[in-house]
């Protein structure tokens, strides 16, 4: 869990937690600002997996909650990643407003592409990619299981990985299969917009910033999926060495 440990260690200025909401699809932690992650539920029988100090999480600091990201309890890890996203410092000049689906589609043209996670934009990628594989923990027809990752990912020029893999601690294993010359995207509302991730062969970060806390809390508490969520803005951060890709796409 080197990536998570690196992110947690980078937190220099702590802040008190103001709010914690865990809903069906998303988890929200508000500290310095508001951070979101996907909610991953335990596979254990109902009631057997408990969240440490539930009912008192709002009395902790953001860094204390951030350490929950290291937990094998995926509910705790969801909280921890949301806490990381609530406290990391984001340089506004380092992010650009952009939809990950549009960027991924442009980068996929004529390429071999692997998508880890079931995203709604996958049909667009299949229209333009030379080959497009989808890897899922619970694959449906036409998708592949995570066991196939070691064979599929090395064939790929572009790999788009759900940031939920930070929550279930599978990201680092997947990154080991990526070629050094491949373009790797980390995608989804859970994505930490931190340039530290560029040190791990990730070239593009596609996440969100919460701009209207009230709207976001209302949506999350009512079980909204991400596409229904108001009050957030999609943002992209690109590794400096890959910014030429963006310039080429905008020509």
Q: Find how far residue 45's CA is from the centre of its chain.
A: 26
Compute the distance between CA of residue 37 and CA of residue 133 in angstroms, rounded to an integer: 25
42, 71, 90 — which closes off a domain? 90
Token match 């991730």: residue?
197
Is there a domain that residue 33 lies in?
yes
Domain with residue 148: its CATH number is 3.40.50.11590
The enclosing H or E element of 20 equals strand 19-22
**Closest to 204 in 3D by CA, of 169, 173, 234:** 234
Residues forming a β-bridge with 152? none
Compute the distance between CA of residue 214 and CA of residue 230 in angstroms, rounded to an integer: 9
Is there a domain that residue 219 lies in?
no
| The pair of three-digit structure tokens given for residue 233, joined into one six-digit string | 């803005």
Asked if 193 and 129 sit in the same domain, the reply is: yes
Asked if 116 and 187 sit in the same domain, the reply is: yes
Beta-sheet strand order (sheet of 232-238): 96-97, 232-238, 204-210, 183-187, 158-162, 112-116, 131-135
Phi and psi, residue 208, nearest 5°: -140, 160
71, 90, 109 — which closes off a domain? 90
Is there a domain that residue 179 lies in?
yes
Q: Domain range for residue 121?
A: 93-208+231-250
56, 72, 90 — which closes off a domain? 90
Total number of domains in the chain:
2
Asked if 69 and 130 sit in the same domain, the reply is: no
Domain with residue 35: its CATH number is 3.30.390.100
Compute the distance between CA of residue 80 and CA of residue 87 in angstroms, rounded to an integer: 11
Asked if 13 and 110 sit in the same domain, the reply is: no
Q: Are 115 and 101 in contact (CB under 8 A)?
A: no
pLDDT digits (tens, 9 = 90+) for 128-139: 999 999 999 889
Asked if 122 and 245 sit in the same domain, the reply is: yes
Asked if 182 and 109 sit in the same domain, the reply is: yes
Compute the distance between CA of residue 64 and CA of residue 135 in angstroms, rounded to an integer: 33
Q: Render each residue's pLDDT in the chain as its tens digit; 251 residues.
A: 899 999 999 999 999 999 999 999 999 999 999 999 999 987 777 777 899 999 999 999 999 999 999 999 999 999 999 999 999 999 888 999 988 888 899 899 999 999 999 899 999 999 999 999 999 988 999 999 999 999 999 999 999 999 999 999 999 999 999 999 999 999 999 999 999 999 999 999 999 999 999 999 999 999 999 999 999 999 999 998 887 776 666 55
Tell me the CA distances in angstroms from 241 to 7, 171, 204, one per residue in order. 21, 22, 11
> Please, what's the b/e burial string for 139-167 (b: 16 or more CB within 10 A of its CB; e: otherwise)?
eeeebbebeebeebbeebbbbbbbbbbbb
Asked if 12 and 120 sit in the same domain, the reply is: no
Q: Are 67 and 84 in contact (CB under 8 A)?
A: no
Is there a domain that residue 104 lies in?
yes
Asked if 62 and 152 sit in the same domain, the reply is: no
**What does the DSSP 8-state code read for residue 211?**
S
Asked if 135 and 19 sit in the same domain, the reply is: no
């Amino acid at each position: 869990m080197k990536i998570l440990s690196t992110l947690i260690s980078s937190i220099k200025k702590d802040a008190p937690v103001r709010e914690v909401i865990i809903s069906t699809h998303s988890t929200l932690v508000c500290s310095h600002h508001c951070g979101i992650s996907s909610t991953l539920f335990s596979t254990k029988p109902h009631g057997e997996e408990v969240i440490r100090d539930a009912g008192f999480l709002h009395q902790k600091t953001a860094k204390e909650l951030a350490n929950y990201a290291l937990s094998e309890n995926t509910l705790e890890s969801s909280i921890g990643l949301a806490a990381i996203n609530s406290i990391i410092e984001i340089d506004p000049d380092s992010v650009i407003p952009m939809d990950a689906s549009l960027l991924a589609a442009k980068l996929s043209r004529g390429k071999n592409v692997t998508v880890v996670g079931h995203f709604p934009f996958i049909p667009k990628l299949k229209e333009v990619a030379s080959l497009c594989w989808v890897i899922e923990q619970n694959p449906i027809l036409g998708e592949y299981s995570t066991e196939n990752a070691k064979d599929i990912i090395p064939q790929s020029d572009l790999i788009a990985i759900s940031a939920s893999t930070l929550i279930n601690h599978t990201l680092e294993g997947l990154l080991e299969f990526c070629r050094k010359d491949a373009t790797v995207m980390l995608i989804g509302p859970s994505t930490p917009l931190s340039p530290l991730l560029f040190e791990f062969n990730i070239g593009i970060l596609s996440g969100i910033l919460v701009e209207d806390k009230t709207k976001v809390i209302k949506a999350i508490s009512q079980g909204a999926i991400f596409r229904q969520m108001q009050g957030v803005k999609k943002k992209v951060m690109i590794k400096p060495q890959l910014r030429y890709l963006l310039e080429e796409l905008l020509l």
